Amino acid sequence: MVLSYGDRRSGINAPCFVFQDTPPDEEIAAKPGRLSRQRRIEPILCCGMGGPYTEKMARAIEAAGAPVYRTVREWVAAAAAARG
């Protein structure tokens, strides 16, 4: 996610999270929101699919300021709309 952030060729940043278990650092939830608030170039649209832990992390990402779509279809539709 961070490697392509700010690259004018990308146009959009769309990370997909599939949390299987507790990551070593739950701070990951704050990063998309932090980058989204900077909004230098492209929007950040996250996708989070999985069970209860993924839902918990998706809510944390949203609370930090980045949208999280729960299906690939919604995620792709949001990306298409963001690209215009």
d(CA 66, CA 58): 9
Residue 41 has pLDDT above 90, yes or no: no
d(CA 58, CA 67): 9
The domains of the chain are located at: 16-83
What is the pLDDT, as a whole number, of residue 21? 66
Residue 1 has pLDDT above 60, yes or no: no
Q: Which residue has the higher pLDDT, 10 or 33?
A: 33
Residue 66 has pLDDT above 80, yes or no: yes
Instruction: Choose among 62, 83, 82, 80: nearest CA to 17.
Output: 62
